[in-house]
Amino acid sequence: MKARLHYALLLYLAEMVGHVPSYRMRHWVYRRLCRIQLGPHTNIQRGLRLFCLGGIKIGDYCCINRDVTLDGRRGLEIGDNVHLSVGSRILTLGHDPRSPDFAPAGGPVVIEDYVWIGAWAIVLPGVRLGRGSVVAAGSVVTRDVAPLTIVAGNPARVIGNRPDTMSYQIEYALLFQ
Distance separating alpha carbons of residues 11 and 23, to the nearest angstrom:
18
Side by side, the strands of the sheet bearing 122-123 are 49-51, 69-71, 89-90, 122-123, 140-141
- Calculate the dihedral angle through the C-alpha atoms of 57, 61, 66, 68, rounding to the nearest 10 degrees: -30
Q: Report CA 20 to chain centroid distance, whole Å.
A: 19
Question: What is the DSSP code (8-state) at residue 29?
Answer: I
Alpha-carbon distance of 19 to 95, in angstroms, equals 30
Of 8, 60, 53, the closest CA to residue 31 belongs to 53
Among 19, 27, 83, 95, the active-site one is: 95
* Active site (annotated) includes residue 95: yes
* In contact, 95 and 102? CB cutoff 8 Å: yes
CB burial string 94-103: b at 16+ within 10 A, e below: eeeeeeeeee
Active site residues: 95
